[in-house]
Structure formats: structure tokens, C-alpha cells
Amino acid sequence: MTWWHALIVVVAGIWAGTINAVVGSGTLVTFPVLVALGYPPVTATTSNAIGLAPGTLSGAWGYRHELKGYWPQTAKFAVASFLGAIGGTILLLSLPKDAFEAVVPVLVGLAVVLVIIQPKVSKWVAERREQNGTEHKPGPLLMFFIFLIGIYGGYFTAAQGVMLMAVMGMLLSEPLQKLNGVKNVLAAVVNLVAGVIYAFVAPVSWAVVLWLAVGSTAGGFLGAKIGRKLSPAVLRGVIVVIGVAAVIQLVVKQFAS
């Protein structure tokens, strides 16, 4: 890896770590960057999972005050994410490489759509709570959805945070800032589980992992610290632009091959 490639990866890691802590979907920054630098989609995905894991951990730590008193319940959610992540990594490693490369544009496109509709979902959730005033306790349905999102996250990490916020926001009555802290913890669990498995049995670029880890760790702390001061609209706009560009690039690459 050249020095300027390393610099690009570090900057992408910082940006992704910040985005993951604030709104999620940092993979939609780093994945296209790695593909543009010439890494195969599978290697980009596995290296992403490992390299962004420290950033999700630092983001989760930054939200520890919001989770005070809620750690026992968060631990229960984490079990579902843990099991789901194992299932997702098995899928990625079991399916043919061509199948993964074919479905990647669809997954990136889905992630972009989720990022676009996330503000409307959050608004709907807030209005729903004000109207019915009902306290929603964690139940089997929520655990099932967290498990499914864990599978998705283990297979392809982009937008799992947005999915988690949408599901928890609809099925729980906790404040959104607390849910954002839970989201960071669950994303960290998925990335760590997938990263550990990929480290032993999947193609990984350790140079990418190193520089992504450096950038994402700094970005995670940054996002957790100043996330409430950043404009979610600006971050979301950047994610959407990069995601759409990634879809176009991946589709063109498939037709060219």
C-alpha cells in the first residue's frame, strides 16, 4: 500500500467512524473507497468489518453515560446481535464470490434508501410516542429483528445502524439518544464478531485494517463527542452521494466484466 492510499483510507476511516457514532452507515464511505482503490468487494467487506470495529467500540464508549442503568437490557440485545453476526459471516463465506459481487449493488442501494428515509421514520416514531403515551417493553419481536439485522450486518455492514434505530425506535419507548447508544454497542458487537471470524478464514488486507482502525477509532470518539452539534442532514447527504456513486461504479464494473 502506498502512502497516499494509506492517507485516503485513514481519512475515510475518520469520516466513517464519525458517521457511525452519529447516524450509522459509515461503511457507505469506506466500502466505495476501498473498491475504488482496487480491492475486491469481498476483501473490502471483510477488511471493513475488522477495521471499523475499533471505531464502533469508541463510539459506544462515548455514549456510555446515555446507557447508565440500561446495560443489562443492552446485554440481552447484544446476544441476538452476536448470534445474527455469526449467521451473516457464515453466509458470506459459504456463498460463491460471484453471488456476493452480484448482490452488493442491491445491498448498497438498500442502505442508501434507508439513510434517505431515516429522518421520516424518526419523526413518525416521535409522533407516535406523543400520541399514544404507551411504554413499550422489549419483546420477542424486537429480539428477532435485532437478530435479523445482525445477520445482515455480518454479511454486509452498511446501514445496520439505521436499521437498528428504526426498529428500536418503533418498538421501544426509550429516548432516541439512549437508543443511539444501544445502536453503537450492537454495531460494535456485530463488527467484532464478524471481524474475528474474517481474520481467521477470509481474505483480508491487513494494511487496510490497520489504517481503517486508526481512522475509525478517532472518528468514533469525535462522533460521540460532537455528534449532537453536527448537522445530521449534512452527514446524511454525504452518505447518500457516496452511496449512489458506489452503486453506479459497481454496476458499471459488472457490465464491463
* pLDDT (tens digit per residue) in 26-83: 777 788 888 888 888 888 888 888 888 887 777 777 778 878 888 888 999 999 999 9
Tell me what pLDDT residue 218 has.
Answer: 85
**How far apart (Å, rounded) are the C-alpha atoms in residues 108 and 121?**
19
Among residues 34, 16, 13, the alpha carbon closest in space to that of 250 is found at 34
Positions in the chain short of pLDDT 70: 23-25, 101, 115, 118, 122, 125-126, 128-137, 158, 224, 226-239, 242-243, 245-247, 249-250, 252-257
Residue 184 burial (C-beta neighbours within 10 Å; 0-12, 13-18, 19+):
buried
CA distances from 8 to 11, 30, 33, 161, 179 (A): 5, 10, 8, 24, 31
Q: In this predicted structure, what is the pLDDT of residue 60?
A: 76
| Global pTM value | 0.75
What pLDDT does residue 79 have? 96
Quote the pLDDT of residue 76. Answer: 93
Single-letter residue type at 118:
Q
The whole-number pLDDT of residue 239 equals 64
Report the alpha-carbon angle 8-247-232, nearest 5.
65
Query: Which among 8, 14, 50 has a CA at the least distance from the CA of 33?
Result: 8
Q: What share of the chain has pLDDT > 90, as a percent?
A: 11
